[in-house]
Structure 1
Amino acid sequence: MRYFRRGWDEDRGDEYASWGTSTFYLALDGEGYAHVQVEVYADGTVIAYDAEHDEDRYGFLTYAQLDLDEFAPYEIGEREFSEELGRLRPMNLRADRPWPPGR
C-alpha cells in the first residue's frame, strides 16, 4: 500500500457543496486502486469509504485506477496516514465500527 494526502480546491458541486473544499486521504495499492478513501471538508465534515463501506448517500470509494506518478508529490508515510486518520471520526460510519481501518 502507498498512502497519500491531497487537497482539493473546489467544492463538490452537489447538494453538499456547502461543506467546502477538501483534503483526501487515500491508501492505494500498487496498481493505483483505492482501498481506503477519507474526505475531510473545510467545515469539519469527514466521510470515509473502504471495502466494508464502499458507497452511501454522500459518495463512494473511487473505482478508477489512479495514476501513482500523478499522486507521488502527495505521498505520506503509513504512520502519518494512520495517525491522521486516528484523529478523525467519519460521520458516515457505524458508531461500533473500528476506526481507522486495520485496527
Structure 2
Amino acid sequence: MNYFSQYWDENRDDEYADWGFSTWYFETNKADEVLKQITVYKNGKVTKYDENNQEDEFGGLCEGTLTIDDCDGDVISKEDFYKIW
C-alpha cells in the first residue's frame, strides 16, 4: 500500500466553499487505485470515502488511478493515515 497527502490551496467550487482550503490523504494499492480517501478542511470538516462509502452529498472516492507524482503530494506513514482515518 502507498500513503500520501496533498494540500489543496483552493476553496471548493460549490456551496461549501466556505469550508476553506483542504488536505487530502490517500491509501492506494500496488495498481495505484485509491482504496481510501480523507479530506480535512480548514474549518474542521472531514470527509472519508472507501469501498463501503463511495460517495455522499459532499463528494466521493477518487476514480481511476492516482500516484504521489500525479498530485505533487507528500509521503506519509500508514500509521499517520490511520490516525486520521
- TM above 0.5, one fold? yes
Q: 1:4-28 CA deviation, whole Å, 9 max, x = no partner?
A: 1211000111111110100001101
Greater Rg by CA: 1
Determine what percentage of the aligned residue pairs are the same residue: 36
Task: State the aligned residue count.
Answer: 85
Are 1:34 and 2:39 counterparts?
Answer: no
Q: Which structure carries more relative contact order (alpha carbon 8 Å, separation 6+)?
A: 2
TM-score by length of 2: 0.88
Q: 1:33-72 CA deviation, whole Å, 9 max, x = no partner?
A: 1111000000110111000000111100010311343457
Task: Could you tell me which runs of 5 or more consecutive residues in structure 1 were left unpaired when the two chains were aligned.
Answer: 86-99
CA distance in structure 2 between the partners assigned to 1:71 and 1:15 by the alignment: 24
Task: Could you tell me which runs of 5 or more consecutive residues in structure 2 were left unpaired when the two chains were aligned.
Answer: none
TM-score by length of 1: 0.74
Higher strand fraction (1 or 2): 2
Over the residues paired in the alignment, what is the CA RMSD in angstroms?
1.6
